[in-house]
Chain A
Amino acid sequence: MDDSVLVVGAGGLGAPGLLQLAHAGIRKFGIIDPDRLELSNLHRQILYTEADIGAPKAECAKNHLLRRFPGIEVHVSVEAFTKNHESMLDEFDLVIEGTDQMETKMLVSDLCIDTNTPYVFAGVVGTEGQVLAVRPNISACLRCLFDEAPPPGATPRCEDLGVIGPIAGLVAAEQVRRGLALLDHDETVLNKLWTYDGVRAREREIRLPKMSDCRGCGSRIALRGWITTKRSQTVDDEISRAKELSVENEVCPQTYVHTKRALDELLPGEMLWVMIGSDESARNVPVSAMAAGYHLLSKTFDGRVHRLLFQRPKINEDDNV
């Protein structure tokens, strides 16, 4: 197979993904990851061994791949992904994105759109994961889903909610499957957000239409620079004005009935915090709300209450609601 793949983030998703991609016949890789391996990584980053602890993941990944698959070509960058990596994207046919920071995910998405490089976004935290395959300017991109990254600390990370190793593996496997489909020009994986609930072992596909005025790939692309410099203040202002709804004592389907009613009353661009007590509702409400066209900006859990931040799409995005 002559195709080449750039893996951004060689952690819980990227590390097993590399193994599967090499096994599937990919012979040229790029790996970008600034981190060094820690003991707590080993339960899910199965490409590495105890002997690698303290060493840069990208270098370790390269060494393990070369040992298992002699003759393959691997380029590494032991740095955080930045705009400086844009020229590197041109050298690869596909990008597999598996970082744990929304800011980086958005940057990868934007640069892949700019360089017309297909990419597959994936995320996993706790017992849930998501995958989105993107063919630039043809299908929905990451910003069609999230619009912009929530402020740092607003979204839960592995450090907060933990992660079960094999669930990361299942998400990585789906990410690789969809990535290989993109390389094979299989368009059936586009415009679909794949989600996995590891507690119920349930997979779902949510239709995700390309937004005509998306900031990543649509008519508002010129706002990206403005977003980058003004984002924190703007988002903080919008969040501070968000309305609140508590359905802590409700169960499905009443949680969604009340949430949907409150969401429908929002003006375009307005946000709503929803406090949910039931774990089942915390899983179902965002899926239903996103299917109805609302953006989920943040989801946190303090051990008792789930706090979900939704936003009604801004003007011109509203057609889907």
Chain B
Amino acid sequence: MSRYSRQISVKSVGPRGHSRVRNGSVEIYGHGLDSQICALYLAGAGVGTISCHSKVIDQVRAINSEVETLEIAEDSTDFRAVCRKETFRSKKTNELGRGSQVARDVIACFLREQ
């Protein structure tokens, strides 16, 4: 069974949507648990290139060695993700909620592409 089979099985994703995710790139700022969770979900989804803080990069590589990683020099604790010129944030009350919400929004952004 493939690494992404569960994601491709989702009706609103499918092979085309998954291909868009695989071609996507995202920058994740911050290095707290919310940033880590966001990066891990996006790495798990197979996003092509993830730029993040050096403290997060090893975790991304450990969960998905297929993802290209780039290091972001900015040492900001302000968690946010940027892709397709959009910036995503979340007001969820816990770190898992914030990281998941932003990762969900980034994937939705990729899926919206024509």
Contact = CB atoms under 8 A, between A and B. Distances in A.
A11 B1 CA distance: 17
Nearest to A279: B11
Interface stretch (B48-56, B59-67, B68-76): B59-67
B46 interface: yes
Contacts, number: 129
Contacts of B95: 20, 23
Contacts of A44: 6, 41, 44
A167 B46 CA distance: 15
What is the interface of chain B mostly: helix, strand, loop, or mixed? Answer: helix
B16 interface: no
Interface string A37-53: 01110111010111100
Given A19-B96, A126-B11, A166 B6 contact: no
A43 B12 CA distance: 16
Given A38-B1, A162-B7, A162-B8, A201 B93 contact: no
Chain A, interface size category, equals 35 or more
A165 interface: yes
B1 A42 contact: no
A24 interface: yes
Contact of B40 (A23, A46, A164, A174): A46
Contacts of A163: 6-7, 10
B10 A164 contact: yes
Contact of A161 (B9, B97, B104, B107): B9
A164 B7 contact: yes
Nearest to B102: A166
A158 interface: yes
A62 B56 CA distance: 21
A127 B9 contact: no
Given A20-B94, A50-B62, A165-B45, A126 B33 contact: no
Given A24-B94, A162-B7, A176-B96, A40 B103 contact: no
A17 B108 CA distance: 23
B41 A169 contact: yes
Interface string B100-114: 110111011000000
B12 A127 contact: yes
B83 interface: no
Given A44-B6, A51-B62, A170 B97 contact: yes
A19 B3 contact: no
A177 B93 CA distance: 8
Interface string A91-132: 000000000000000000000000000000000001100000
B82 to A, nearest CB: 17
Interface in A1-56: 16-17, 19-20, 23-24, 38-40, 42-44, 46, 48-51
Given A40-B1, A43-B4, A164-B45, 10 more contacts: A16-B37, A42-B3, A42-B63, A43-B3, A164-B107, A166-B45, A167-B104, A169-B41, A199-B12, A201-B104
18 contacts: A16-B100, A43-B4, A43-B7, A43-B46, A46-B44, A46-B63, A126-B11, A160-B9, A161-B10, A164-B7, A164-B13, A165-B44, A166-B100, A167-B104, A169-B103, A170-B101, A172-B96, A177-B93
Interface of B: 1-13, 33, 37, 40-41, 44-46, 62-65, 92-97, 99-101, 103-105, 107-108
5 nearest A-B pairs in the assembled complex, by CB-CB distance: A162-B9, A169-B100, A173-B97, A166-B103, A43-B44
